[in-house]
Amino acid sequence: MNVLIPWRQALPPLLETEGAAALMQAPSLTVALRALGHGFSVRLLHLGAVGGDVWLADGLGDAPEWFARDVLLCVNDTPVVWARSLCAHSAEHWRTLLDCGTRPLGERLFDGSLPLSRSAFEYAVPDAATDLSGFGGTAFAARRSFFKLHGEALGLVECFLPALKNYLVDAN
């Protein structure tokens, strides 16, 4: 079932009051989560072909086949973010980068070695029924952006899980 997710350019108001604004706008979520001062790790859920995608496909155009990397970003071994990276199955540059096991993709995206460009963030508050493939939980917020590298596109969505709130400091 394809559920239309209402993406917006501005942070949803409820996030501005929960101390999540800085994290939601951090260029590298890997860096921001490590800065919380707790153990950070990545759990690989899936790497390979996927069918449809409700999170990113509308921003990537048409492709006969999709390739995805689904992971959980964890703090103190607790999942706090579900993330999906999606590209056309034919996008060799991205497929090579996505095959990084339990290393954070952000380490490679933001190390300055790649001639890539990134779109502005878009934000959403997902419906409780929206699928987080490979993970049975729900998200209280999501952000997405799109990258270009050598003419190929990659979509990245990061869904913020309720356990993350235990590590956020209220900005007020």
What residues contact residue 24 under an 8 Å CB cut-off, 6+ apart?
A: 11, 15, 121, 123, 141, 143, 160
Question: Taking a C-beta distance cutoff of 8 angstroms, is the pair 68, 86 a contact?
Answer: yes
- Confidence band of 79 (pLDDT split at 50, 70, 90): very high
Residue 2 within any structural domain of the chain: no
Q: What is the CATH classification number for the domain harbouring 109?
A: 3.40.1410.10
> Quick one: average pLDDT of 121-136?
86
Residue 172 within any structural domain of the chain: no
- Confidence band of 19 (pLDDT split at 50, 70, 90): low
Question: Taking a C-beta distance cutoff of 8 angstroms, is the pair 46, 133 a contact?
Answer: yes
Rounded Cα distance, 91 and 157, in Å: 18
Range of the domain at 89: 13-167
- Confidence band of 1 (pLDDT split at 50, 70, 90): very low
The structural domain count of the chain equals: 1
Residue 32 within any structural domain of the chain: yes
Tokens of 133: 């493939």
